[in-house]
Amino acid sequence: MTVIDIPEDSLFGLANLPYGVFSTPGKKPRVGVRVGESVVDLAVALGDDVFTQPRLNEFMAQGHARWVRVRQQITELVSGDVPDDAVHPVAEVTMHLPIEVADYVDFYASEHHASNLGRLFRPNAQPLMPNWKHLPVGYHGRSGTVVVSGTDIVRPNGQRKAPDEDAPTFGPCRRLDIEAELGFIVGTGSELGAAVHTADFATQVFGAVLVNDWSARDIQAWEYVPLGPFLGKSFATSISAWVVPLPALEAARVPTPVQDPKPLPYLQEGEPWGLDIDLAVSWNGHEVSRPPYREMYWSPAQMLAHLTVNGATSRTGDLYASGTISGPEKDQRGAFIELTWGGKEPVRIGEEERTFLQDGDEVTITATAPGTDGTRIGFGEVSGRILPATT
């Protein structure tokens, strides 16, 4: 038996206990939970077949009451002796995409980000569209290209047309960007025709991950009218390997910024679901931004209520992301197009300067939040390295 060591300053203490899918050499991917610098194999430790699955979907589909019981079981387990063969050093496992993604939706819930992008994409118009403060604007993305942190990102090819060009040309993206976001994973879905109330967020959503919504700004700018982003986004969306369960975020709950005008009743919430999460974006190892999630205008409970208010089902494995997290300050912007103001104001990366991503560049997004026991909890990271375009 092993007693798992949890350093006092660990971001993966008992207040966190995130779920992931891992493998060890010669064995199939299965469900584990991270504790300190260890991964606990839940199938071995709890003897439950649902954790032999290569994704969390089957466990998530068992519902909220079951998630509560298992979290309690894990807490008891890792507070005492754990069977030796259930414990692996995190450095020795390979992490996999933790969920099979059903539908993927991306929102646009930061007022600072939406305003900045409005100024950059539509310089002669009001930065915020008239609908923006009435509803959480969002769109569907490509669920088949959601990949786990650490997956290399091939620079996409596509049509690009600069304002001073007569016609589009085809070739590698010249303005490759990131979007630092938080993503929410639906654990149990809803029926066709049944809207989900904001109060149901806490029992239907399983947990949260970091998201990097890689964005080809030149492709996007040319294609996106009138039906929205498509190939400028669909080449890859990275998520962190560890899913932080919603109860681990209890101490991070804060009110959203004041919402004025008052939202329509279906978007009102009895309890706040703003989240005091600090993100950090690092570019080739140099921190360039610290986006504050607490600045997000719309809460994730409001996003879920909105996306089902027309009767659309939600399903186990649905992933919906917040949209880029940007704060009011320049060094709080979660996309490079904002940070470098459309590429006009380069940022320093050590000895170098950057506007958009170059081949070989690596971006890592991390995040922490207050835990329920006075410690801080961590999301791990979502990272990716840019490979040259295929020819």
In the complex, the residues that contact a second copy under the rule CB under 8 A are 102-103, 108, 118, 121-122, 129, 131, 134-135, 137-145, 147, 154, 156-159, 161, 167-170, 189, 192-195, 216, 219, 222-232, 234-236, 261, 264-266, 306-307, 309-315, 318, 390
Q: Please tell me the total number of residues recorded for the chain in this structure.
A: 391
Cα–Cα distance measured from residue 47 to residue 354, given in angstroms and rounded to the nearest whole number: 50
Closest separation in Å from C-beta 182 to a second copy = 18
- Label residues 5-17 b or e (16+ Cβ within 10 Å = b): ebeeebbbbbbbb
The three-state secondary structure class of 198 is: helix
Q: Is 179 one of the annotated binding-site residues?
A: yes
Cα–Cα distance measured from residue 24 to residue 31, given in angstroms and rounded to the nearest whole number: 12
Q: How far is CA 331 from the centre of its chain?
A: 20
Q: Is 250 one of the annotated binding-site residues?
A: no
317-320-323 Cα angle (round to 5): 155
Q: Is 122 one of the annotated binding-site residues?
A: yes
Q: Which of 88, 96, 112, 113 is catalytic?
A: 113
- In the bound state with a second copy, the residue whose beta carbon lies nearer, of 64 and 142, is 142
Closest separation in Å from C-beta 27 to a second copy = 24
Q: Is 134 a catalytic residue?
A: no
Closest separation in Å from C-beta 252 to a second copy = 27
Closest separation in Å from C-beta 248 to a second copy = 27
Query: Which of 140, 145, 141 lies closest to 156 in space, CA to CA?
Result: 145
- In the bound state with a second copy, the residue whose beta carbon lies nearer, of 14 and 146, is 146
* Contact present, 121 and 220 (Cβ < 8 Å): no
- In the bound state with a second copy, the residue whose beta carbon lies nearer, of 228 and 247, is 228
Q: In what side-by-side order are the strands of the sheet with 153-154? A: 153-154, 376-387, 362-370, 278-283, 286-289
Residues marked active site are found at 113
Q: List the binding residues.
A: 106, 108, 122, 179, 181, 213, 220, 224, 233, 237, 324
The binding site for Mg(2+) consists of: 213, 233, 237
